[in-house]
Amino acid sequence: MTATDTLTGTPIALVGLGKIAIDQHHPSILKSGAFRLAATVSRNAGLDGIPAYTSLAALLDNQPEVTAVSLCTPPQVRHAMAREALEAGLDVMLEKPPGATIAEVEALTDLAAARGRVLFATWHSRFAAGVPAAKAWLAGRQILRGTITWREDVRRWHPGQRWIWQAGGLGVFDPGINALSILTEILPAPLRLTGAELEFPENQETPIAARLSYLTGAAPIAADFDFRQEGPQSWAMEFETDDGVLSLADGGATVSAGGQNLSQGEALGSEYDGLYARFARLIATRTSEVDLSPLKHVADAFMLGRRLTTDPFIE
């Protein structure tokens, strides 16, 4: 018997050990009373004291007690692993974006339903501290216009990660989809893309910047996504309404309206804790949760966006 055998909680495996898995998923699993980290799967990394495997098949062969996996691999390879896990009878949590295409995530949703498994497509930014307060405040007001500024330094947040520049890796929409996940959560009316400009480095397959025009009802929403931000990072939204201005800062952690703080938190502070608490509830109720609206808006941007070529990106 090992030390982990004496622990309580659903045994879960962390699949993919990149920056987000190590910085966010691992600490949140350790803090969760609902899960215990039973194993990891990665081609070239591991965690001290945790059984490690280089394939999902090896995990399944050696630790049949594992009943859930959290998939943190790049989106281009996630569908095959999620399918393997669901077919093996595991419940599956997907890091955002849930896949490289809408169709493949829909196929996973159907498979999970057919096999009676739980599938959770996560949007961590919806669990930012200020998002519920922002949603409640906007619910009773008419939005007149809005601006979204989501600018960060790709070298800081995705160092050496080639997958993000390859087709299916989304480029600047990897962080931009966080903004879209908040928008689709808090807006009282649906969002519709009306125009887009996407800047592609001449040596990469995905965009480094995007300027997007939306409508929610009759209100225009302008979004500016950029991977070239140096210094302070910008994850902010502002909505002018018929009854004052709502501002979100730090990725939705801080929200103010009419000069009053509605919520104050830390960027990324408890978002992943919230994800694992939600996953535990979904498992307990045998319920899947798959909302593809943020990914659909990214797909719309690639369909409708005018492509511009910019300077090459060199790490």
pLDDT in tens, 45-72: 899 999 999 999 999 999 999 999 999 9
Q: What is the pLDDT of residue 266?
A: 65
The mean pLDDT value of the chain amounts to 94
Question: Can you give the residue ranges of every domain in the chain?
Answer: 3-121, 128-264+298-310
The CATH architecture one would assign to domain 128-264+298-310 is 2-Layer Sandwich (3.30)
Q: Has residue 7 got a pLDDT over 70?
A: no
Active-site hit among 31, 96, 135, 296: 96
pLDDT of 175 reads 96
Asked about 96 being catalytic, the answer comes back as: yes
Quickly name the fold that domain 3-121 has: Rossmann fold (3.40.50)
Looking at residue 123, its pLDDT comes to 98
Phi-psi region of 307 (alpha: psi -120 to 50; beta: other; left: phi over 0): beta
Given a cut of 90, is residue 3 above it in pLDDT? no
- Say if CB 68 and CB 12 are below 8 A apart: yes
- Whole-model pTM: value is 0.93
Q: Are strands 244-249 and 254-257 parallel, antiparallel or unpaired?
A: antiparallel
pLDDT attached to residue 199: 98
pLDDT in tens, 164-204: 999 999 999 999 999 999 999 999 999 999 999 999 999 99
Asked whether the predicted pLDDT for residue 5 surpasses 60, the reply is no
Give the containing element (helix H, strand E) for 130. none
Cα dihedral 271, 273, 279, 281 in deg (nearest 10): -110
Res 38 pLDDT > 60: yes
Which residues neighbour 6 within 8 Å (Cβ) at sequence distance 6 or greater? none
In this prediction, residue 1 carries a pLDDT of 31
What mean pLDDT is predicted for residues 1-5?
A: 38
Can you say whether the dihedral through the CA atoms of 301, 304, 306, 311 is positive or negative? positive
pLDDT at 315: 86
- pLDDT (mean) for 102-121: 98
The angle subtended at Cα 224 by Cα 221 and Cα 228, nearest 5°, is: 170
Identify which of 212, 198, 200 has the alpha carbon closest to the alpha carbon of residue 149: 212
Q: Give pLDDT, residue 102.
A: 97
